[in-house]
Structures are given as C-alpha cells and as structure tokens.
Amino acid sequence: MRSRERVIAAINLSKPDRVPLRHSPLPGALIKYGEKLMEIFRRYPHDFSPSEFDVPKPEELPADYRAGVHRDSWGTLWSSTVDGIHGQVVDYPIKTIEDYATYEFPQLQQDLENYGIKLKKNVDEFKSKGFFVMLGFDPGNFFERLQWLRGFRNLMMDLVRGRRELEAFADRLLEYCISSLQIVLEAKPDAVSFADDWGTQDRLMINPSLWRSFFKPRYRVMFKLVHDYNAYVYFHSDGYIMDIIPDLMEIGVDVLNPQFSCHNLKLLADSVRDRICISSDIDRQYVLPRGSPREVEDYVKMVVELFGYGNSGGLIGRGEVNIDVPLENVEAMYRAFIKYGRYNW
C-alpha cells in the first residue's frame, strides 16, 4: 500500500497492510535535536505530509511558542521560558463581560485567492507523492481559544452562569471558524485537525451535560462542513475524556487522539473497538521520557494489540516527541511500531 491508501484504510477500519506512522515532534524537540532527530524520521518515514520537517528558527516561532513574553494576533499575551514549548497566558483581551461584544477577530488571510491557490498546490503535490494530507486551521481549538481570550477562570464562571454575552460571542467565533475552515477545505485535504484539551488527569473539566449543551452543537457544525468536503475529522484532546467519547463519535470524529496516560487503555480500547480509528499517544508522562527503550517497545506492543483491532485495523502509530524524550526512546517507539504493526489478514 502507498502511504495515503494505508492511512485511509486505517481510518475506515478496512485492513491496512500495517499500522501507519505519524511523526509528532514539538518545535522544541526539533530545535534541541535537529539533524539527529531528522535521521530517525528518515529511517522510519511516516505516512503523512509533510514528508520532512524543518528545524524552526526561534525568532520565527509563533508568540505562544517563543521564549520571552509576546502578544499574538488575537491580543493574548504569552510567556514561555523555552523556545518551541507552549507558553502560558499572562494577559487576555476580554477582561469584562461587556468586552465580548466589542472584541474584533484577527483578519483572515489577506489575499485569500493567492493563499488558496498556494495551499491547493501544496496539497496536490503531497497527494501525488502518495502521502495523506492533513491540514489545520485557525483556530482549530475552539474551547482553548475561548480560554486564551477570556482567561480560564473567567470563562468557567461565564459558562456556569449561562452568560448570554458568551453565547453570542461563541456564535461569532463559530462563524470565524467556518470561514477559516472553508479556505482550508477548498484545497481538498484528506483530513482537518482539531485540538482542544478537555480533561484533567482523571475527569472532564466541565460537567458533561454543559459540554453537550454548549460545545457539542458547535463542534457538530464544523465537523459536518469537513465531511461535506469529503474530508476526515481528526480530534486531539489531552486529559481524561471517556465521558464525551461517544458524543465525539456521534457528531463525526473519524480519528481520535486521546492522552493515553490519563486512561485505562483496556477500557478505552473496549469502548471504541471497531467504531473509530485511534491515533496513539505513547505515554508521555513516564514511558517515553523516563522509560527504557525496552519499556517503550513493550508499551507500543500493548498499544498495537489493544487498538489494532484484529479484524479490521484502526490504529495510527504516533507518539509526541518533546524535549524530555531521549532519542533512543524515539527510535525504540518507531522500531516497535514497524516490528509489531504488520498485519497478517
């Protein structure tokens, strides 16, 4: 199978020849390890575009990934101590409930026609080379963007109090998301990625019923648009999210990337088996950063056995490479996916 065919088969639970791979380095890891990390990626090529990564220049990183204190185009002020590691919000633009009505969103891409042509050309190029093309959009993180604009505590209070101003603002943000999504979807990617961290270590951040009434309908609108363009929905969320996984599947998530270290993996696998493709998250709280290469191999083997769905396949092999992950563990992870991830149908 070519890479694109392999990923599509995994998503559709239709028997790929092996577990497809996806490299997932944080910018900080690319900066720290540079060519040494690239060599590992070349030894174990993944099935997604881009086929190669560039080492980012610190001065070109976005505000939320650049060391120091920097304000982004949304008006949020970020502080980070390390280049390439996501920072913390230290100031936000929506300080009062009245500010929801007057906040102005950043302008979308200025020259939409030229941007769209360039984006389509890149997608066509990678598809012609046999890769699966997944694109992000701004903002692909609806819940987190609300936090970064209003402040986490303030947003939680507004949600609990049922502020009409927040409802109206969330609808405006949804309209912005739809416009941004539309630009990306016109390029005909295979998938669009969304990311919102919904869980703490052991529970959802808000009551599931509040999630279902406020966020679920808005996600549904975005996911439907993606499917209208015959693309897949890829959804990442850190933390424990078992309470809303059935809802995410119901409203159209095709690939789910949960944080493995916050879940009982057998229970998670039992709840999704033969229903949805899982993009793995090799334990990044202990196994990847602090385990031995053998522990990494054993963990990957367990993941393939649990989520490879013996009768269909339904796993994308992925593990986030952060600055605390030794290179020998990065190599052990990909080597194990290749060793244990070949299917004998």
In tens, the pLDDT along 89-136 reads: 999 999 999 999 999 999 986 566 677 778 889 999 999 999 999 999
Mean pLDDT, to the nearest integer, of 209-221? 98
Q: Is residue 82 part of a domain?
A: yes
Is 221 a domain residue?
yes
**Per the structure, how many domains does the chain have?**
1
Report the DSSP beta bridge partners of residue 129.
none
Answer yes or no: is 220 within a domain: yes
8 located within any domain: yes
Residues 241-251, mean pLDDT to the nearest whole number: 98
Contact 70, 61 (CB under 8 A): no
For residue 320, what are the β-bridge partners? Answer: 24
pLDDT reported for residue 310: 75
Q: Which amino acid appears at position 236 of this protein?
A: H
Instruction: Kindly report, residue by residue over 162-180, the tens digit of the pLDDT.
Output: 999 999 999 999 999 999 9
With beta carbons less than 8 A apart as the criterion, state whether 96 and 112 touch: no
Confidence of residue 78 (pLDDT cuts 50, 70, 90): very high
Query: Is residue 345 situated within a structural domain?
Result: no
d(CA 247, CA 196) in angstroms, rounded, equals 15
pLDDT at 111: 60
Does the structure show a pLDDT above 90 at 35? yes
Instruction: State yes or no: pLDDT of 274 exceeds 80.
Output: yes
The pLDDT, as a whole number, for residue 110 is 56
Question: What does 144-173 look like in DSSP terms, one character per residue?
Answer: HHHHHHH-HHHHHHHHHHT-HHHHHHHHHH
> Which of 233, 269, 281 lies closest to 254, judged by CA?
233
Two tokens at 270? Answer: 């039992």
pLDDT value at position 113? Answer: 62
Assess if residue 103 is contained within a domain. yes
Q: What is the CATH number of the domain that holds 75?
A: 3.20.20.210
Number of H-type helices and E-type strands within the chain: 15, 10
Is residue 172 included in any domain, yes or no?
yes
Domain enclosing residue 15, as ranges: 3-340
77-80 and 88-91: which strand pairing?
A: antiparallel
Per the DSSP assignment, residues forming a β-bridge with 22 are 318
Q: In the predicted model, is pLDDT for residue 137 greater than 70?
A: yes
